[in-house]
Amino acid sequence: MSFATFVLPLLSGLVPLSALYLLAWRAHLNIGHWPRYMLDDPNNFQFNDPWYDRLDGLTCIADGIGWCCLYASIALTIRFSPQITMRRRIIMVCLFLVSWTVFVHEPNQLFWWRLD
């Protein structure tokens, strides 16, 4: 239980971020530069590249995995709440906030590029 309560909040942000970087890397190989927010629309790329299409689907799946990790960590916290100390809860919340802050505010703005 203790390992899962620390790993699941981290995975909720890092799994979608890693899939997003794979998608951006493939777009980088096709357009010659890293995709930029408000300039390169991820839905309008006509590469005829099957790997880009697969990574696009993987990104959607990774988003779902991230949400499942978030819900699982909340469910574990609720289920084992009498056994979890306040210090561990604070650490869990901090890990979650760090992973999602890195996900949303990463330097290449890939999260915003994908939402574009």
Three state DSSP letters for 49-110:
CHHHHHHHHHHHHHHHHHHHHHHHHHHHHHHCCCCCCHHHHHHHHHHHHHHHHHHHCCCCCH
Report the chain's C-alpha Rg in angstroms: 17
- 56 pLDDT band (50/70/90 cuts)? confident
- If one counts the domains in the chain, the total is 1
Instruction: Name the pTM for this structure.
Output: 0.80
Residue with tokens 């988003």, as numbered in its chain: 63
Mean pLDDT score of the chain, rounded to an integer?
Answer: 84
Residue 62 is predicted with a pLDDT of 93
- As a whole number of angstroms, the distance between CA 9 and CA 73 comes to 6
Q: Domain span at residue 34?
A: 5-113
User: What are the φ/ψ torsions at residue 43 (nearest 5 degrees)?
Assistant: -85, -15
Residue-wise pLDDT tens digits, 76-112: 888 887 888 888 888 888 888 888 888 778 887 888 8
Would you say residue 71 has pLDDT above 80?
yes
